[in-house]
């Protein structure tokens, strides 16, 4: 695998990772790299990226519905109200990643964010989106960075505000997943936010 866009079963070119397992195809085509707005929606991505730290994203993706059930669909106000009984419930929940530090960080972050004004998290995160004109399309997955100046700055800003478990690498994964950057490789059908269209016979 060269890291360049490769054709899938339908003949359309995609990022190689988007075809590495069946679970990834819809996520790659319809979610990854598309703009995400809204405090609760971004809180979910922050949490899931934190849980993914040290693991494969597919591990998180396959448990996403379990995470949503466990964390009240990641509604900040609801999670902020979780108490010790909820914490113990989460630590015993086989439908999520039962990592004590990550669970505690999620609960602490929710309590913190519940005190922010509506839209404040959205505004803060998106203020670190780089100018697309300064980012040429990656030709291969090897051209995609793991950390950037913007993700480092975003991580620092979130940590300064008290948020936990959001280092520069996690911050960049968040930026990729939520469309602050477009890291679909050249030729990928999902690059530019376009949805896969009908196959046109040659």
Residues annotated catalytic, as ranges? 27, 49, 57
How many CB atoms lie under 10 A from the CB of residue 71?
24
Nearest to 136 by CA among 145, 126, 127: 145
Using CB atoms within 10 A of its CB, is residue 102 exposed (0-12), middle (13-18) or buried (19+)? buried
Alpha-carbon distances of 171 from 6, 73, 88, 151, 202, rounded to whole Å: 27, 21, 28, 5, 42
> How is residue 169 written in tokens?
């690498």
């Amino acid at each position: 695998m060269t890291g360049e866009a490769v054709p899938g079963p339908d003949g359309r070119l995609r990022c190689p990772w988007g075809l590495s397992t069946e679970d990834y195809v819809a996520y790659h085509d319809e979610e990854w790299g598309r703009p995400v707005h809204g405090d609760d929606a971004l809180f979910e991505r922050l949490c899931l990226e934190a849980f993914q730290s040290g693991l494969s994203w597919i591990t998180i993706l396959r448990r996403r519905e379990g995470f949503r059930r466990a964390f009240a669909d990641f509604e900040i106000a609801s999670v902020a109200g979780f108490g010790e009984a909820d914490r113990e419930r989460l630590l015993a929940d086989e439908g999520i990643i039962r990592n004590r530090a990550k669970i505690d960080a999620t609960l602490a972050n929710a309590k913190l964010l519940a005190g922010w004004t509506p839209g404040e998290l959205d505004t803060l995160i998106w203020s670190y989106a780089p100018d697309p004109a300064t980012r040429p399309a990656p030709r291969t997955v090897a051209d995609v960075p793991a950390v950037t100046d913007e993700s480092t700055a975003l991580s620092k800003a979130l940590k300064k505000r008290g948020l936990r478990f959001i280092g520069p690498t996690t911050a960049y994964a968040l930026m990729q997943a939520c469309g602050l950057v477009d890291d679909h490789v050249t030729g990928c059908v999902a690059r530019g936010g376009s949805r896969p269209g009908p196959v046109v016979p040659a």
